[in-house]
Structure 1
Amino acid sequence: MDDIPATEVRLNEIRMKLQEDSICRIIMNYCQDGWPGYEHPTITVSTRPYWLLREELSVCHGLLMRGSRLVIPSSMRAEILQKLHEGHQGIVKCRERAKNLVWWPGLSREIEDVVKNCSSCLKHRRERPEPLKPTDFPDRPWQQLGSDLFYWKGVNYLLVIRLFL
């Protein structure tokens, strides 16, 4: 708990929101009282992602945890996504940051959506397609060749291709 980078006021807010969130409240009860079987009627589409990770989930000081990561209730997720993306770093960096701090079902996909739809990131993105560089058409056969090495079914091959006229 000492490693969580949040103030006690913030942790209390998360505790309160966890109790207000119907799904998180159910999951916290399961963590404390025991999990039902997969086919049990209380395991719904909403609770199934948590059930699949039930061995990693716990309640510690009134907080729902997945390992050392806080499970964030749905009412706080948009705010947390914005904080994860505060530095306008890419998808990989935001996921890495989240991996150490927070979790909820679908977090990785939501991070990708936030980064891909961020107007500031789109404006400053460096990934521009490299322009195609045309080559002159050869004057005679075998003037221009392409080659590649490859391995297939246990045998090494050299592929040589000539440009047809």
Structure 2
Amino acid sequence: MIIERISASKCIELQEATNADPQLQLLAATIRHGWPDKSYRVPIDIRTYFPFRDELTISDDGLILKGLKVSIPKPLQPTYTQILHEDHPAAEATKRRARDIVYWPRMNADIEHYVNSCAICNSMKPHSQKEPLQSYTVPKAPFETIGIDLFQWNGINYLALGDTYSTWFDFCSLSDTTARTIILKLKGKFATHGVPQTIISDNAQQFAGHEFQAFATNWNSIHITSSPNYPQSNGLAESVVKRAKHLLEKTKREEPPEPP
């Protein structure tokens, strides 16, 4: 159960806040003594709970559960919203995470407002949205076609790769940007996810050279490079680089300041 995954300190905090919350105490009393048969007979403060009254129970700890989800008292709702958004997922992802573990009335609206007001998320939003750069045929299976690219962030070199089918992406740091190092990193990714049929890259020296071309051939992959014949072929990798930098920048901004 979800309640079993709450730490002892959080459980005590929830118990105290639930006991001090008049709305939840009224709700608990109604759950114990039975609901009226009509919604208009329910006290207005808890009428919003009436449609799913059969899902509501009280745990041995005195917490109110909606199925397996814990009802969060109003004073703690901002704290739990912040916890749910601590690694800055988008609004829908934050709401999906919340729906699995907690509940309170207007929870979705509160999360939407919090995410839209998040200074870090807003500082990382692009100023304008471009049309998708992808111009090649969408594959029929994951990791069938991938795009790769190199980028540098905060003085560190990275290799980024993205899957055309699922839009999944990954990136890893590089000790150097030689073709040999890039190939070793890709072999590790291929061992985990499978060997792609098509690899798309730009015309950087590491990718256009004989060593990388031989690697792709030996692994039975078709290697396509950006060229006048494929003017937008590396759009996937460019998008992945932006997403990777976006994530790295968010993580950096979330780091606590160094002690004096």
TM over 0.5: yes
CA contact (8 A) 1:90 1:115 kept: yes
Q: Which whole-Å CA distance do the structure 2 matches of 1:60 and 1:127 have between them? A: 48
Q: C-alpha displacement at 1:97, in angstroms? A: 1.0
- Equivalenced residues, count: 129
> Is residue 2:10 matched to residue 1:10?
yes
Equivalent position of 1:55 in the other structure: 54
In structure 2, stretches of 5+ residues that fail to align are 132-260
Equivalent position of 1:84 in the other structure: 84
Equivalent position of 1:153 in the other structure: none
In structure 2, relative to structure 1, the CA distance for the partners of 1:35 and 1:123 (3 Å cut) is same
Q: C-alpha displacement at 1:74, in angstroms? A: 0.3
Q: C-alpha displacement at 1:5, in angstroms? A: 2.7
Equivalent position of 1:24 in the other structure: 24
RMSD of aligned alpha carbons: 1.8
CA contact (8 A) 2:48 2:105 kept: yes
In structure 2, relative to structure 1, the CA distance for the partners of 1:4 and 1:124 (3 Å cut) is farther
Equivalent position of 2:69 in the other structure: 69
Q: How does 1:85-164 map to 2 (within 5 A)?
A: 85-126=85-126, 128-130=128-130
In structure 1, stretches of 5+ residues that fail to align are 132-165
Higher share in helix: 2
In structure 2, relative to structure 1, the CA distance for the partners of 1:125 and 1:20 (3 Å cut) is same
Q: C-alpha displacement at 1:100, in angstroms? A: 1.1
Q: C-alpha displacement at 1:126, in angstroms? A: 4.5
Q: Which whole-Å CA distance do the structure 2 matches of 1:19 and 1:112 have between them? A: 28
Q: Which whole-Å CA distance do the structure 1 matches of 2:83 and 2:26 have between them? A: 27
Alpha-carbon displacement from aligned partner over 1:94-130 (angstroms, at most 9, x marks no partner): 1111011100000011111111111100111258323
Q: TM-score, normalised by structure 2?
A: 0.47
Percent of pairs with identical residues: 24
Q: C-alpha displacement at 1:30, in angstroms? A: 1.1
Q: Which whole-Å CA distance do the structure 2 matches of 1:3 and 1:33 have between them? A: 23
